[in-house]
Amino acid sequence: MLYDAVVLFSKALQDLDNGKYVEKFPVISCDDISKGTDGTSIINYMKSNKILGLTGLVHFDGQGFRSSFSLDILQLSKQGLKKNKPFTMLKNSPRQLSGNERYEGFTIDLIEELSKVLHFSYEIREVADKKYGVEIDKERGIWNGMVGEVLSGTADMAIADLTITSTREQVLDFTLPFMHTGISILFKKPTEKVKSLFSFLSPFSAEVWLFVMAAFLGVSFVLFLVGRLSPYEWDNINPCRQEEKIEENCFTLLNSMWFTIASLMQQGCEISPRSSSTRTAAGIWYFFTLIMISSYTANLAAFLTIEKVVYPIESAKDLAKQTKIKYGCLAGGSTKTFFESSTITTFRIMKEFMDKHPEVLMESNEKGKEEVYKGNYAYLMESASIQFLTERECNLTQIGGLLDHKGYGIGTKKGNVALSAWLSTGILKLQEEGVLHTLKERWWKQKRGGGKCVEKPSGSVRELGLGHVGGVFVVLLVGVLLAAAIGFLEFLWKYRKFSTSQDNIKKLMVKDIRFALTCSSSVKEVHRFKRRKLESSQSTMADVNDIKFGSSDFSSRNTGLSIKQ
């Protein structure tokens, strides 16, 4: 507690220093009535801060009292101090208790509710040997534990987390189950969370991204085809020379793809459709991009702020397939009996593994939990106990579903059918009224530190690190390098069309590169040289042309020309 107090105080000092400039902290004396000028501010910072210290969550309310903390109730046994289970526990009280009032827990509340419904009185008695009950002498049919005391008449009923099994059913009559459970896997949560470099792609699945790319290519081709077929997309490039009838179509294949990608990225484009057919295709594409971009943006924030936890195992089948993670259960319990009697291949493999490695079998569930905390170990136990642990031990979790299905019931002496049926009627009534659900919520998620591991939503926005958005920078870098490579290839492609000496071409290329690197102007001198002569019969055509570089004249306007008679 002293350590947590110093940590909280130091954090308050840091917050105070960040909020205002503290030149010198005044000397404070307990004997002097004077106080520091910043004392009230420090107290307010300590009240508003929350830290997870050695004694758990440290948080103060407005009155300055510590709140939101939990204490463990311990009892002394021959093995030392140990924690009680949620079914039956000794009540914590400053005064001496006796009789039924000494106990509390799920089954204590259950028998109390049953007594109210069925109108009977009862006395709670602890079993002498602290056992549930196994057959210790098969020849004489002698059992120990709670089962043995019911058989001998020492107790009228056994009420606890007593599993209904076929062996116990032969000597006892059980009521309807008041709680259903099954064997599951207790495992330690991974401490490292996976951050995907390309997490910005997560809002859509790979299948959706493929369909988006297919839609992009398909719409681009449709615009190209429809644009060439429609007469309204052709325009005279020389309006002053109507006799020439030379028309141009802006929807080339590359321009169609540029128009499609620009609208997909919610950007403008210098190309615009004029005909009804191309405008219809463009309008439908606009609607498609509106829905897709809105859906992507809505999910992007959630996927960028979520750090995915990857577990090495997902089920019992995964455990059976590997050998790196060891697994075991309680030695001599009903879980071990389940694996010994099972005929399912996966469970037979797990049973053989536990037989070959007896060290994985634990003498108590507490030992199993400690082994899980060490890492690379999975403990097989009943899900009701796992749920109780995971509500209080935030580093533990349940893996997969249930390996089997069974229930806890109240055991009565064999042949006393009326008593078991009478109790079953009360259990059904409590179930219908929701009392059983309320009791489990109380002892699993509220009492004795329950609900500690519930993640509460926070109103603050968490900042994104490079691990969340690093993929965007990778895409940007690749795109810039690709654009630079294409531009260089275009530069080389233009020069390969002209026939002159290699030295002249190199000099001109060097001159153009230097001009481009100076970034001084977008206008430059026109180079005049001869184009390569064509090998066809038209080689006599004019072979001297003016070629302009560095401005919009660089692109040819002959693409997509159509000469009409």
Strand partners, 407: 180
Burial zone of 86 (CB within 10 Å; 0-12 exposed, 13-18 middle, 19+ buried): buried
The annotated binding site for L-glutamate is made up of: 163, 168, 334-335, 382
Residue 182 in 3-state DSSP? coil
Per-residue model confidence as pLDDT tens digits over 16-68: 888 777 666 667 677 776 666 777 888 888 888 888 788 878 888 777 888 66
**Does position 326 have pLDDT exceeding 50, yes or no?**
yes
Q: What is the pLDDT of residue 520?
A: 53
Per-residue model confidence as pLDDT tens digits over 472-518: 556 556 755 675 676 667 667 766 666 556 667 777 777 777 765 66
Q: How confident is the model at residue 300 (pLDDT cuts 50, 70, 90)?
A: confident
Q: How confident is the model at residue 459 (pLDDT cuts 50, 70, 90)?
A: very low
Q: Residues 5, 42: contact at Cβ < 8 Å? A: no
Per-residue model confidence as pLDDT tens digits over 207-244: 888 888 888 888 888 888 888 777 777 777 776 766 66
The annotated binding site is made up of: 163, 168, 334-335, 382
Q: What is the pLDDT of residue 253?
A: 85
Which percentage of the chain shows pLDDT scores above 70? Answer: 74
Residue 44 in 3-state DSSP? helix
Q: How confident is the model at residue 73 (pLDDT cuts 50, 70, 90)?
A: low
Alpha helices in 496-561 (DSSP H): 502-518
Which position has the higher pLDDT, 509 or 342?
342
CA angle 290, 295, 298 (to 5 degrees): 120
The mean of the pLDDT values for the chain is 77
Residues 235, 561: Cα–Cα separation, whole Å: 10
Q: What is the DSSP letter of 554?
A: G
Q: According to the per-residue pLDDT averaged within each range, which of 239-248, 343-352, 516-525 is highest?
A: 343-352
Q: What is the pLDDT of residue 196?
A: 66
Which position has the higher pLDDT, 522 or 436?
436
Which percentage of the chain shows pLDDT scores above 90? Answer: 17
Q: What is the pLDDT of residue 281?
A: 84
Using the structure block, give the residue that is written with the tokens 């290839």: 489
Q: According to the per-residue pLDDT averaged within each range, which of 109-118, 166-175, 268-277, 504-513 is highest?
A: 109-118
Q: How confident is the model at residue 535 (pLDDT cuts 50, 70, 90)?
A: very low
Which position has the higher pLDDT, 247 or 442?
442
Q: Residues 132, 164: contact at Cβ < 8 Å? A: no
Which position has the higher pLDDT, 106 or 468?
106
Q: How confident is the model at residue 191 (pLDDT cuts 50, 70, 90)?
A: low
Residues 212, 218: Cα–Cα separation, whole Å: 10
Q: What is the DSSP letter of 99?
A: G
**Does position 146 have pLDDT exceeding 50, yes or no?**
yes
Which position has the higher pLDDT, 415 or 506?
415
Q: What is the pLDDT of residue 454?
A: 66
Burial zone of 178 (CB within 10 Å; 0-12 exposed, 13-18 middle, 19+ buried): buried
Q: How confident is the model at residue 187 (pLDDT cuts 50, 70, 90)?
A: very high
Distance (Å) of CA 372 to CA 92, 367, 377, 385, 395:
29, 9, 5, 14, 10
For 174, list phi and psi in degrees, rounded to 5. Answer: -105, 145
| Least confident stretch, 240-244, 401-405, 446-450 | 240-244
- The set of long-range contacts for 435-444, using a CB threshold of 8 Å and a minimum separation of 24, is 435/113, 436/110, 436/178, 436/179, 439/106, 439/109, 439/110, 439/113, 440/106, 440/179, 442/106, 442/109, 443/86, 443/105, 443/106, 443/109, 444/86, 444/387, 444/388, 444/391
Per-residue model confidence as pLDDT tens digits over 349-395: 999 999 999 899 988 888 899 999 988 899 999 898 898 888 888 88
Average pLDDT over residues 171-194: 86
Q: What is the pLDDT of residue 216?
A: 86
